[in-house]
Each structure stands twice: as structure tokens, then as C-alpha cells.
Chains A and B, each alone.
Chain A
């Protein structure tokens, strides 16, 4: 079994979106701290 174009598309899109979301949320959360 070889990776199809569709497979690459799903893999790249999912990995990119999740990695960006994870990095963005983590950085903002760490910077934010608690309000009180």
C-alpha cells in the first residue's frame, strides 16, 4: 500500500491545523497566567 494524494492531503492538513492550534493555544495560555 502506498500513500495516495488524498492520504497526503489529509495527513498534511490535519497535522498542520492541529500543530498550529496546539502551539498557539499553549503559548497564549502560558503567557496569560491567572487573572487574580
Chain B
């Protein structure tokens, strides 16, 4: 048996794990959620969710990953099989590589927009567009949703998407230490440096237009942080806060168990897991909360920022921010930094999302790493094409909801039950505390067994309920036009097809292993 890959350094592991967690959501989703859900008050359910949901799940995934790695399992296929002696376990575990695959298929496309906008900023493509409607038309023209003078269809968009996929393939073909860890050691410090420079620039803006003293950075910070205690009894802010914690830590994606499987039996998971959480929270609350919203309020005012925030994270990042940067001296440099920052956040997450399938192909079928990376690149292009061409029909939104929201919570629920109940509370606690560099309070034993699965169940039910009671329900397709429905059903069929294909691969891998054992 060949020697398993390992992380070269502990700081490299932390940076790679933090890179997995720090994504576009830290800089676009968090400030928007905080501003829309009670300002400073949002931090109360946010921190409670971090303690009761985020941290326990992080520790469950880290410990389960390290446990599986002892038996040569890099994905939840092998991990579930070891924990639950049932023939169905491995098929359930296949979700640990199909879910991240389904996410990365559309995530690389969104990630490519940040690379494209970094290029557009550096070359000042959109400079001169000074109102929201025109900037929105620029974005939609780039995405091929509407015709635009600067773009002929989706060609430019496709070029940047293919460059992004190739970059991902290049990194993952280098393996754990020489690919993913090396990328994290370069991209994560750069991300922090760019964010630091942008924050200093934002804070020195003060009140950009003295004629409008109410439009200032201080007002922007007040917009995010001033508490509205009347909202604390509102269930929606609790669901929003729990959801933000869940997404920001990249839980339920199968990536953390996979990365943790490259640890050794007695390596610490408690402190290292906590380190990645604290790095992610630093990037989200301190860096993410101090750029987009404050600068938007300083230039556009509270009312316009509220409207932009209500429209969505992408409007904030790709419509408001490019418009604002044009108003700054040397704005193209800051705009390039902003989009490169988002790109670094995106690429460190997308390589993590590809690793479970890579590991499965390598471990179960003996596929060479470079060949597995090429297969993955081909899958990303083939299954990603509908995201590019059917974006306007809501194809990507279906994938995002079914996999990026419901799928993640459901899989995290399965993981928590698998580890805290089927593996057993005593085994779980022994696994978590073995080799730990910090003492984990015993109360987390009960939190992990009772509170976390319960919170996940409630969250799952709440999301489904919120969707089916909304006017544009994704589940019921109530907001979808007749012309969109075939594409939305196609999206659902693709998701089901990839999940089924994943299970078929597990079946074939199992047959192959049995044949090899029989020969021995």
C-alpha cells in the first residue's frame, strides 16, 4: 500500500481549512445579513449559533475525518462504512463527494465572475458607468442574460469560467501538500493583506461628500452594528443567524472530513478546528463587516444601501461596489484588490470542494492524481455548461437551494447522528479529545449529542417552511414562468443523476475491493 498523502505543516493545514471556510459569503453575505436582521442584535443569535451549531459540527467533522484517515478513508464513504456496519452506510456516505461536486459545479462559475471583474477593474472596462441600472445591465450582459454593447453573448463569461476551472485543476493536480496547501499559503495571506488595505482605505473616507454629511463610513458601521432589540423575538433573525454560521463554516460539504483524513492518529483536532473557526470569524465579522456596507453607505446613503442589500449579495458585490470604486482616486486598483480578494476566497473554497471526489477516485479506483484532476475538470465543464447558458431561467438557483442549502443541512444532520449516536457518545468524545491541545468543556458532549442535531432539524424544517410559504417558492416552482420550468426540471434531474452516479461509483468500488480481497 502506498503512503497516504499528509499535510506538510500545521499552519498550512489551518490556512487550507480556513481557506475552505472563508468564501464569498464572508464578504458579501454576512454584512448583508447583519444589516438586514437587527444590526448588532444579529450578533446575539449569531454567536449562540456558533457555539451550539457551528463549533460542535466543526469538531464532529474534524474528528470523523481523522478517524476515517486511520483506515485509509479520505471520504465519508469509508468513514460511514467504518462507523455504521450496514451495507447502506457507504451509499449514504457517497453524498460526501457528490454534494461538494454539485456545489463546485456552480461555484466555479460564480467564482469566475470575480476573476473577470478583477480584469474589468484593472482595464477599467466598466469605468464611466455611473448609475445602478446601467451597472446592473453590465453584469447581466456579461452573464449573457441580456444583450449588451460590450459583450457578444456569454463568450467572455465562458472564457473566464474555463480559466477558473483550469486553475482549480492545476492546483488539485498538485495534491494536498504541493497543491492545496501551497495555494492556501499564498492566497490566504494575500486575502488578509488586501482586506486590510481596503479597510484602511474605507475608514479614511470619512464623509466623501461634505454636502451629504449623513452619508459616511461611521453611518455605515452604525447601520451594521446599532442593535435593534425589538427584533430579538423575531424567529427569522435566529434562522438567518444559524444559516449564516452554517454556510460560513462550510459545514456539511464533506470537505472538512476529507481534509482532516490526512492527519495522523494523534494529531490535534480540537485546537486546529477552533483555529480555523476563529480565522473564519475574523475574516467575516471584522474584515467582511467593514468593507462593502460602510463604503456603500458612505457613497450611496442608507436608503440606497438598504435597497441594494435587500436585492441580494451579488448586487452589493458586483453592482454597487464597481460603481463606488470609480469614485475613488486610483479606484481601479482598489476595485481590482476587492475582486481578487473575492477570487482568492473563492478559489481556496473551490479546490476544497473538489478534493472529496479526487480522493475517492484515487483511493477506490487507483486513478493517478493528475488523471483524476483532468476527469474532474471535464466534469466541471460538462455539467457546468447549463449553469452558464440557462442562468436566466434560474437553473443555478435550483442547484443552490437543493444542494447548497437543503442538501448541506441534511448531510450535516446525517453526520452528527452518525458520529454522536451510531458511533456512540463515548467513542465520539474519546476521538475528539485524543491528542487535543486544548481542554474541551464536557458540556460540549451533551451539546453535540442533543442540541446540535436538534438545531439542524429545526433549521431544515424552517428553511423548507420559509420556501414553501414564500411567493416565489423554489420547491413548488410557484414563481417560475412557463418557459423556465423545463430548465428547472432539467436542473433537478441533473442533481438526481449525479447523486445516483455517485452511488453507482460506490457500488463499483465495493465490487472492485471485494475482487481484490478475493485474489489475495
- Are A and B physically bound partners? yes
Q: Which residues of A contact B (CB under 8 A)?
A: 1-4, 6-11, 14-15, 18-19, 21-22, 24-26, 28-30, 32-36
What CA separation (Å) do A34 and B264 show in the bound complex? 9
What CA separation (Å) do A34 and B225 show in the bound complex? 39
| A26 engages B279 (CB within 8 Å) | yes
User: Would you list the 5 A-B pairs with minimal beta carbon distance, nearest first?
Assistant: A10-B40, A25-B275, A7-B226, A7-B225, A22-B282
17 new A-B contacts at CB < 8 Å, known A2-B219, A11-B40: A1-B222, A1-B226, A2-B222, A7-B225, A8-B225, A14-B43, A15-B286, A18-B282, A19-B282, A22-B278, A22-B279, A25-B274, A29-B272, A33-B10, A34-B7, A34-B10, A36-B267
What CA separation (Å) do A26 and B275 show in the bound complex? 6
25 contacts between A and B (CB under 8 A): A1-B214, A3-B221, A4-B222, A4-B226, A7-B221, A7-B222, A7-B226, A10-B225, A14-B47, A15-B285, A18-B282, A21-B274, A25-B279, A26-B275, A26-B278, A28-B438, A29-B272, A30-B10, A30-B11, A32-B10, A32-B437, A33-B9, A35-B266, A35-B267, A35-B435
| A10 engages B267 (CB within 8 Å) | no
Picked from A6, A26, A28, A34, the residue with its CB within 8 Å of the CB of B226 is A6
| B222 engages A29 (CB within 8 Å) | no
Q: Which residues of B contact A (CB under 8 A)?
A: 7, 9-11, 14, 39-41, 43, 47, 214, 218-219, 221-223, 225-227, 229, 264, 266-268, 271-272, 274-275, 278-279, 281-282, 285-286, 297, 302, 435, 437-438
Which residues of chain B have C-beta atoms less than 8 A from A22's C-beta? 278-279, 281-282
| A3 engages B218 (CB within 8 Å) | yes
Q: Distance in Å from the Cβ of B245 to the closest Cβ of chain A?
A: 13
Which residues of chain B have C-beta atoms less than 8 A from A8's C-beta? 225
| A18 engages B281 (CB within 8 Å) | yes
Q: Distance in Å from the Cβ of B426 to the closest Cβ of chain A?
A: 23
Q: Distance in Å from the Cβ of A14 to the closest Cβ of chain B?
A: 6
What CA separation (Å) do A14 and B214 show in the bound complex? 25
Which residues of chain A have C-beta atoms less than 8 A from B218's C-beta? 2-3
Q: Distance in Å from the Cβ of B244 to the closest Cβ of chain A?
A: 14
| A35 engages B275 (CB within 8 Å) | no
What CA separation (Å) do A32 and B45 show in the bound complex? 33
Which residues of chain B have C-beta atoms less than 8 A from A3's C-beta? 218, 221-222, 225-226
| A34 engages B282 (CB within 8 Å) | no
Which residues of chain B have C-beta atoms less than 8 A from A2's C-beta? 218-219, 222
What CA separation (Å) do A15 and B282 show in the bound complex? 8
| A28 engages B271 (CB within 8 Å) | yes
Which residues of chain B have C-beta atoms less than 8 A from A6's C-beta? 40, 226-227, 229
Instruction: Using A3-B221, A3-B222 as known contacts, say yes or no to A14 and B285 having CB atoms under 8 A apart.
Output: yes
Which residues of chain A have C-beta atoms less than 8 A from B223's C-beta? 1
| B43 engages A35 (CB within 8 Å) | no
> Chain A: which residue is nearest B279 at the CB level?
A22
